[in-house]
């Protein structure tokens, strides 16, 4: 959103339909959640105000704390792998060969697959009995069974997420790299810059903008991951791969713990709001430059 | 980091293999009979069979699952585009009271975990009598597809010079004529890309779709998570369904290849 626009409050008319539909699908539910989070609801006729009791209970609940820590470790792990790997892959894509389009489309494939099918693909791929990966690893003499061993489940989950989303970083980074004019490289060559210096002083500044978008999108989307682990591991073995969303879904629909689940929802939403604000300010700032 | 030339090309090739192997395996499983899958391990299918695909096209549980999914995705995409186009135009052309706050608030809905809305959605849609209908899932998915559509379209619309709007005004055309006959046709590419992204994000969602649909509107993603029968999981059938759900995206991607990155980055990359 650039700042050189006429002021016209009649533009509100254009925004109104969006406002109504999102009010129905987001505002009413969110208010309901806040409402539940401060009440004890035995049934819908007898409820009483409990203040912040559910919040305190949720924050102290070891299952919540565990799920939150797992979530943080998971998100940081996949970011630490996907960002450098994505940039490295992007640097390998030829800039103007007749294969460029083909490579880009190939890279985009995992992004277009329904998330539950991503889970299915990795289930079929990693199972020790019928999977190409699982069977091969076991045949090499390394015992591997992601349905029984927490560590193996984690490795499989991370491998799956890297498979699913590194392409996004790679495509973004490629867009950043192709926006660098050739004279920049020629000038660097004249100055006798090493490949590292070219990367650090010519490419990095151009990549910064797109990488901020990529990192924040991945951070937020990985923070709400549900479908892929649900299909692949079901959160197990035990609770080893139960992330925040799955824990919340179990509380809300599985056990109908209205109050605690609502308090959980509000805390979860506030975290996302914080990430969102960072995303918004960094993206809007780069737009205005 | 990249001291040797050719190293980065090597990374690309290795990564490409990593990307393709699981896909190959899914396709290969979908073409095998269960006896072959459970039998001895082999890299290539011992015998090719289309029985799994035939089963999906002849069993109502499966093909109705596809039909249910397609119906809520279609409703969702229509609603999203209809409300997002005027809003994106307003955001891209004017400043108005609360515009920045509203734009940010939309983003928070795209980023919010669907699980947060699970509890009230179930009760809200039961209360208004929409539970177990495609419309319920379509409206629920508006939670993230509408903000997505507004953000992507705003990115595209902002790239269209305002001189175009002014010229139409000088030519004496009404705003409605300009918008329908000039502005939308010029942006048909952008609208196509947005359509694609609304379709994709509604097509891939499982949690809300599962919660809001009962026995009569079960979407394909839910049918797929319940293929366990008395004799265990039918892997061949599951793989075939997987291949079929991947197809729509793969078929359309060629047409949106130029704007794919822009769409995923919410219209923020040119």
- Confidence check: pLDDT of B227 > 80: no
Mean pLDDT of A238-258: 82
A175 — pLDDT class (breaks 50, 70, 90): confident
Q: What is the pLDDT of residue A32?
A: 85
Of A17-31, A38-52, A105-119, B63-77, which gets the smallest average pLDDT? A38-52
Contact B132, B215 (CB under 8 A): yes
B2 — pLDDT class (breaks 50, 70, 90): very low
- Same domain, yes or no: A45 and A80: no
- Confidence check: pLDDT of A13 > 50: yes
Percentage of chain A exceeding pLDDT 90: 17
For B130-162, b/e burial (b = at least 16 CB within 10 A) is bbbbbbbbbbbbbbbbbbbbbbbbbbbbbebee
Of A69-73, A144-148, A252-256, B43-47, which gets the smallest average pLDDT? A252-256
- Same domain, yes or no: A103 and A168: yes
Per the structure, the complete domain to which residue A231 belongs is given by 63-288
- Same domain, yes or no: A37 and A93: no
Number of structural domains chain A divides into: 2
Q: What is the 3-state secondary structure (H, E, C) of B162-220?
A: CHHHHHHHHCCCCHHHHHHHHHHHHCHHHHHHHHHHHHHHHHHCCHHHHHHCCHHHCCH
CA separation for the pair B42, A67 (Å, rounded): 39
- Same domain, yes or no: A22 and A70: no
| Residue carrying structure tokens 């609208």 | B191
Angle at which helices B235-253 and B51-58 pack, to 10 degrees? 80
pLDDT one-digit tens code per residue, B193-204: 899 889 888 888
- Asked if A144 reaches chain B (Cβ–Cβ under 8 Å), the answer is no
- Mark yes or no for CB contact B260/A199 under 8 Å: no
- Confidence check: pLDDT of B64 > 70: yes
- Same domain, yes or no: A100 and A131: yes
- Mark yes or no for CB contact A252/B158 under 8 Å: no
Which range among A47-56, A121-130, A278-287 has the greatest average pLDDT?
A121-130
Contact B260, A104 (CB under 8 A): yes
- Same domain, yes or no: A39 and A84: no
Q: What is the pLDDT of residue A1?
A: 53
Query: What is the domain partition of chain B in residue ranges?
Result: 59-264
Contact B114, B205 (CB under 8 A): yes
- Same domain, yes or no: A214 and A78: yes
CA separation for the pair B142, A129 (Å, rounded): 41
In a domain, A216, yes or no: yes
Q: Give the residue from A156, A125, A129 showing the smallest Cα distance to A233.
A: A156
Helical H runs in B97-133?
99-111, 114-127
Q: Which residues does chain B have within 8 Å of residue A222's beta carbon, measured at their own beta carbons?
A: none
B22 — pLDDT class (breaks 50, 70, 90): very high
| Residue carrying structure tokens 């539910």 | A29
In a domain, A1, yes or no: no
Nearest chain A Cα distance for residue B208, angstroms? 10
Q: Which of residues 166-225 of A touch B (CB under 8 A)?
A: 166-168, 171-172, 174-176, 195-196, 199, 210, 213-214, 217, 220, 223-224
CA separation for the pair B52, A178 (Å, rounded): 44
> Which of A2, A85, A217 minimises the CB distance to B158?
A2
Q: What is the pLDDT of residue A83?
A: 94
Q: Which residues does chain A have within 8 Å of residue B249's beta carbon, measured at their own beta carbons?
A: 112-113
Q: What is the pLDDT of residue B15?
A: 93
Q: What is the pLDDT of residue A6?
A: 84
Mean pLDDT of B263-268: 78
pTM over 0.80: yes
- Mark yes or no for CB contact A121/B242 under 8 Å: yes
Contact A267, A83 (CB under 8 A): no
- Same domain, yes or no: A22 and A160: no
Cβ-proximal residues to B88 (8 Å cutoff; 6+ apart), any chain = B149, B150, B152, B153, B154, B156, B157
Nearest chain A Cα distance for residue B123, angstroms? 9
Mean pLDDT of A143-162: 90
Contact A33, B119 (CB under 8 A): yes
Query: B129 in helix, strand or coil?
Result: coil
Q: Over chain A, what is the mean pLDDT?
A: 85
The sign one gets for the Cα dihedral A201, A205, A206, A212 is positive
Please name the residue of chain B whose CA is at the shortest distance from the CA of residue A245: B115
Q: Over chain B, what is the mean pLDDT?
A: 85
Q: What is the pLDDT of residue A285?
A: 64
Q: In this structure, which topology does domain B59-264 adopt according to CATH?
A: MetI-like fold (1.10.3720)
- Asked if A140 reaches chain B (Cβ–Cβ under 8 Å), the answer is no
The sign one gets for the Cα dihedral A118, A121, A122, A127 is positive
Q: What is the pLDDT of residue B250?
A: 82
C-alpha triplet A66, A67, A68: angle, nearest 5°: 90
- Mark yes or no for CB contact A108/B99 under 8 Å: no
pLDDT one-digit tens code per residue, B246-255: 888 888 788 8
* DSSP-assigned states of every residue in A213-225: HHHHHHHHHHHT-
Q: Give the residue from B227, B204, B221 showing the smallest Cα distance to B29.
A: B227
- Same domain, yes or no: A227 and A146: yes
- Same domain, yes or no: A27 and A147: no
Mean pLDDT of B77-104: 91
Tell me the CA end-to-end span of chain B in Å, nearest whole number: 27
Q: Give the residue from B200, B157, B45 showing the smallest Cα distance to A114.
A: B200
CA separation for the pair A161, A86 (Å, rounded): 13
- Mark yes or no for CB contact A1/B158 under 8 Å: yes
Q: What is the pLDDT of residue B90?
A: 93
- Same domain, yes or no: A83 and A164: yes
- Confidence check: pLDDT of B236 > 80: yes
Report the C-alpha dihedral over residues A172, A175, A176, A178, rounded to 10 degrees: 150
- Mark yes or no for CB contact A12/B204 under 8 Å: no
- Mark yes or no for CB contact A269/B12 under 8 Å: no
ipTM: 0.84
- Same domain, yes or no: A86 and A42: no
Mean pLDDT of A221-232: 87
- Mark yes or no for CB contact A213/B268 under 8 Å: yes
- Decide which of B7 and B180 is more confident: B180
Q: Which residues does chain B have within 8 Å of residue A83's beta carbon, measured at their own beta carbons?
A: none
């Amino acid at each position: 959103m650039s700042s050189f626009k006429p002021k016209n409050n009649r533009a509100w008319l254009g925004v109104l339909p969006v406002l109504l539909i999102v009010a129905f699908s987001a505002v009413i539910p969110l208010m309901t959640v806040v409402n539940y989070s401060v009440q004890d609801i035995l049934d819908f006729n007898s409820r009483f105000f409990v203040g912040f009791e559910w919040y305190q209970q949720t924050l102290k609940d070891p299952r919540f704390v565990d799920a939150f820590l797992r979530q943080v470790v998971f998100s940081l792990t996949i970011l630490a792998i996907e960002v450098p790997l994505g940039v490295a892959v992007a640097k390998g894509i030829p800039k103007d060969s007749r294969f460029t389009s083909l490579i880009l489309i190939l890279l985009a494939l995992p992004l277009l697959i329904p998330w539950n099918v991503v889970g299915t693909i990795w289930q079929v791929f990693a199972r020790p009995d019928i999977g190409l990966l699982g069977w091969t690893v076991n045949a090499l003499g390394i015992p591997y069974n992601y349905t029984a061993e927490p560590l193996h489940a984690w490795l499989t989950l991370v491998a799956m997420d890297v498979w699913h989303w590194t392409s996004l970083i790679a495509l973004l980074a490629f867009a950043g790299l192709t926006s660098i004019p050739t004279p920049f490289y020629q000038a660097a060559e004249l100055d006798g810059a090493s490949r590292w210096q070219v990367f650090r002083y010519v490419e990095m500044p151009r990549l910064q903008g797109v990488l901020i978008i990529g990192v924040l999108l991945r951070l937020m989307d990985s923070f709400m991951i549900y479908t892929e682990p649900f299909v692949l591991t079901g959160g197990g073995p035990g609770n080893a791969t139960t992330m925040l969303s799955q824990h919340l879904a179990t509380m809300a629909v599985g056990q109908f713990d209205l109050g605690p689940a609502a308090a959980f929802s509000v805390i979860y939403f506030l975290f996302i709001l914080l990430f969102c604000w960072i995303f918004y300010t960094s993206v809007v700032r780069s737009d205005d430059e | 980091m990249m001291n040797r030339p050719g190293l980065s090309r090597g990374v690309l090739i290795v990564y490409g293999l990593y990307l393709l192997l699981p896909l190959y395996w899914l396709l290969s499983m979908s073409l095998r009979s269960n006896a072959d899958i459970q039998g001895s391990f082999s890299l290539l299918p011992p015998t090719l069979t289309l029985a799994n695909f035939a089963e999906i096209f002849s069993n109502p549980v499966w093909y109705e699952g596809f039909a249910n999914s397609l119906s809520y995705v279609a409703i969702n995409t229509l609603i999203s585009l209809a409300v997002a186009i005027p809003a994106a135009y307003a955001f891209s052309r004017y400043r108005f009271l609360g515009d920045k706050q509203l734009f940010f608030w939309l983003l928070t809905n795209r980023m919010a975990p669907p699980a947060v809305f699970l509890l009230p959605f179930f009760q809200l849609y039961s209360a208004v009598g929409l539970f177990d209908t495609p419309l319920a899932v379509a409206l629920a998915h508006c939670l993230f597809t509408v903000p997505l559509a507004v953000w992507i379209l705003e990115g595209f619309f902002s790239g269209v010079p305002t001189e175009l709007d002014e010229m139409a005004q000088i030519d004496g055309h009404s705003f409605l004529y300009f918008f329908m006959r000039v502005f939308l046709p010029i942006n048909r590419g952008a609208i196509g890309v947005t359509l694609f992204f609304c379709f994709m994000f509604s097509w891939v969602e499982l949690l809300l779709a599962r919660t809001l649909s009962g026995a009569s509107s079960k979407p394909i993603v839910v049918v797929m998570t319940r293929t366990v029968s008395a004799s265990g999981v039918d892997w061949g059938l599951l793989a075939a369904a997987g291949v079929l759900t991947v197809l729509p995206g793969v078929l359309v991607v060629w047409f949106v290849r130029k704007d794919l990155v822009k769409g995923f980055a919410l219209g923020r990359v040119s």
